[in-house]
Amino acid sequence: MCTYGPLFPSPQYTLATQFLIPTAFYIATALAAIILIFPQTVNHLVTDGYVKGFLQPGNGIIALQANVLQTDPTDPNAWAELAEKVKQLRTVASETLVALSGQLGMLELEVSRGRISAHDLKTLLTKSRTLIGRMVGVSSFQVSRQ
């Protein structure tokens, strides 16, 4: 009001209200959309994707090792079935890790509501690259010989 006031001959200063009212509506709409329409944060999406897309298939690969040890070495159909299951689980785990690596840059840009901080989540995903290599190594002898 102090800067624009002397420029107008009448004492009705509506210029500030012309800026403030639309800005207030924009901020209210944005906050309502964040809370009601898009309640998930990137931290939540990465954590949920990591658990469902990387840890669960990894646990599946480890669980298949008991079946591998009990499978008859002369049964090619059973080995082909195990090899296909392991291949699917490895593909899901590695694709999830690649997809989550693309979201790492956005983790530290938002206010996080997660239990794990963005820095810890980045460290976890970085160390998971080594883990996926070890999972591939554990399941490497389950190759189908057709």
How far is 19 from 121, CA to CA, in rounded Å? 41
Judgement on whether residues 97 and 27 belong to the same structural domain of the protein: no
Give the C-alpha separation, 137 to 143, whole Å. Answer: 11
Helix (H) or strand (E) holding 64, with range, is: helix 56-70
In the chain, the number of structural domains is 2
Within a domain: residue 144? Answer: no
Q: Is 146 within the bounds of a domain?
A: no
pLDDT in the model for residue 127: 92
Burial class of residue 112, CB neighbours in 10 A (0-12, 13-18, 19+) = middle
Residues 14 and 56 in one domain: no
pLDDT score at 25: 94
Largest Cα–Cα separation, the chain: 98
- What is 117-140 written as a DSSP string? -HHHHHHHHHHHHHHHHHHHHHTT
Percent of the chain with pLDDT over 90: 15
pLDDT one-digit tens code per residue, 54-100: 999 989 988 888 888 888 888 888 888 888 998 899 899 989 988 88
Q: What range does the domain containing 115 cover?
A: 42-138
Using alpha carbons, select from 143, 132, 137, 126 the residue that is nearest to residue 58.
132
